[in-house]
Amino acid sequence: MKSLVTLLRRFYKWEHFWLCLLVVATLILHFVIVDKPPSLILDEQYYINEARGIIENHEIEFEEHPPLGKLFIITGIKIFGDNTLGWRFFSIVLGTACIILFYFICRSLGMSPWATNFATFLLALENMTFIQASVAMLDVFFLVFMLAAYLLYLNRRYITAGIAVGLSVLAKLSAVLSVPALIIHWFFTRTKRSRWFALTIALSVITFLALMPLLDYFTVLDFDDVTTPFERIETMVNMTSSLTFENSTHESMSRPWEWLISYRPMPFWWDPHYISGISPSVWALTIPTFAYMVYKAVRRDEAGLFGAAWFTSTYLLWIPASLITGRLSYLFYFYPSIGAICIGLGLGMSELIRLFQTRKSGKLKWTSLSVVVIIVLAHLVSFMLLYPLFPIRYY
């Protein structure tokens, strides 16, 4: 008995204890709802039906997206069958891997244990992050490789970082927007210390061009039906750019600036309610958090700089892109940017904890603690209310 208690105490004191707890908790929460609903949700109707067509006839129906994410869905169906577990298994597993990668990104940025744990807690129980990892869509597949690329880059693994970037774009073309974050961070922190970063850019392009025909072959199993990477890129760009606000209508379409100006979650399914909305606890603090990260970046804080660069790259660039091209966009396009805001919130909350610990008394001491408690509770309540099995139906 004493040895068990000693083991539990050691595990509790282990620096990665809270990460393990979050990973186990989110996995349980995911698999509890893996079969709910038993029918296809939103874009699952495209990707799963296409996966079925590829398995049966080796035909690509929707050519506007690269093949890697679809191959994960196909693999899940082949392993577990054409059912909810087969459709969503790899989304859940790789969505959980995103939490682990994010945690180590925070540590690689020199964030304190408090800041890292706060940031990871916010990301793991953020509604849009959780929902995207619950359904068979492509975004979680590109995000896991994007985060792997960020972690590898921060640890100066420039070659493998480039490969990870290429794999991310092979899951979804919009992953290209993750690259400017690396360029911004490198420009302000590493230009004099490493020219190896050029390998990251070069290998991301090489990986994409080299693997695109191979992955296409795995879907059609006939090289005669495989086009060159450049022809494939032209097809994908033309198809995605053809859908604009002028020639298309969709009840959930929205401009990027609307995502933060008004709170309007995007419904995926009603019973149980899958709502792809940014958790209110994160949404309400997004703009001030970005300003705080810019302030930290000016003060030469690496985590603040990387978070600001990440947010600029994956969200702010959507605004001029939307104005120039008029390309159709949806709220869940904000999904890759949530980690950046969680970094800023983690930094701010850890600073408030530091104030609480260093102040002997006074209003500032207890105010700082109160703010942290309010944010944590608000985040938990937000997650509970938006969790699909919570007994509230939103219309």
pLDDT of residue 7: 67
Residue 40, CB-side half-sphere exposure with 13 Å CA sphere: 15
Q: What is the pLDDT of residues 78-89, one digit of tens each?
A: 999 999 999 999
Q: What is the pLDDT of residues 18-32, one digit of tens each?
A: 999 999 999 999 999
SS3 category, 266: strand
pLDDT of residue 140: 96
φ, ψ of residue 90 in degrees (nearest 5): -70, -25
Q: Dihedral sign, CA of 77, 90, 315, 164?
A: negative
Using CA atoms, how far apart are residues 123 and 282, in angstroms rounded to an integer?
A: 9
Using CA atoms, how far apart are residues 50 and 259, in angstroms rounded to an integer?
A: 30
Q: Which helix (H) or strand (E) holds 159?
A: helix 158-171
pLDDT of residue 84: 94
Using CA atoms, how far apart are residues 239 and 220, in angstroms rounded to an integer?
A: 20
SS3 category, 15: coil
Nearest to 388 by CA among 121, 86, 87, 41: 41
Backbone dihedral region for residue 156 (phi beyond 0: left; psi -120 to 50: alpha; all else: beta):
left
End-to-end CA distance of the chain: 52
φ, ψ of residue 40 in degrees (nearest 5): -80, 140
Q: Six-digit token pair at 208? A: 């994409």
Question: In this structure, are residues 178 and 168 in contact, taking their beta carbons and an 8 Å threshold?
Answer: yes
pLDDT of residue 4: 65
Q: How far is CA 345 from the centre of its chain?
A: 16
Q: How many residues appear in the chain? A: 395
Cβ burial, residue 164 (10 Å; 0-12/13-18/19+): buried
Question: In this structure, are residues 204 and 166 in contact, taking their beta carbons and an 8 Å threshold?
Answer: yes
Using CA atoms, how far apart are residues 24 and 27, in angstroms rounded to an integer?
A: 5
For 237-262, what is the HEC assignment? HHHHHCCECCCCCCCCECCCCHHHHC
Contacts of 186 (CB under 8 A, 6+ apart): 194, 197
Gyration radius (Cα) of the chain, Å: 21
Nearest to 161 by CA among 123, 125, 118, 108: 108
Intervals of the chain under pLDDT 50: 395
Using CA atoms, how far apart are residues 122 and 115, in angstroms rounded to an integer?
A: 11
Question: In the 8-state DSSP scheme, what is residue 225?
Answer: G
Using CA atoms, how far apart are residues 106 and 221, in angstroms rounded to an integer?
A: 41
Question: In this structure, are residues 92 and 31 in contact, taking their beta carbons and an 8 Å threshold?
Answer: yes
Question: In this structure, are residues 393 and 273 in contact, taking their beta carbons and an 8 Å threshold?
Answer: yes
pLDDT of residue 241: 81
Cα dihedral 294, 123, 375, 316 in deg (nearest 10): 30
Using CA atoms, how far apart are residues 42 and 64, in angstroms rounded to an integer?
A: 17
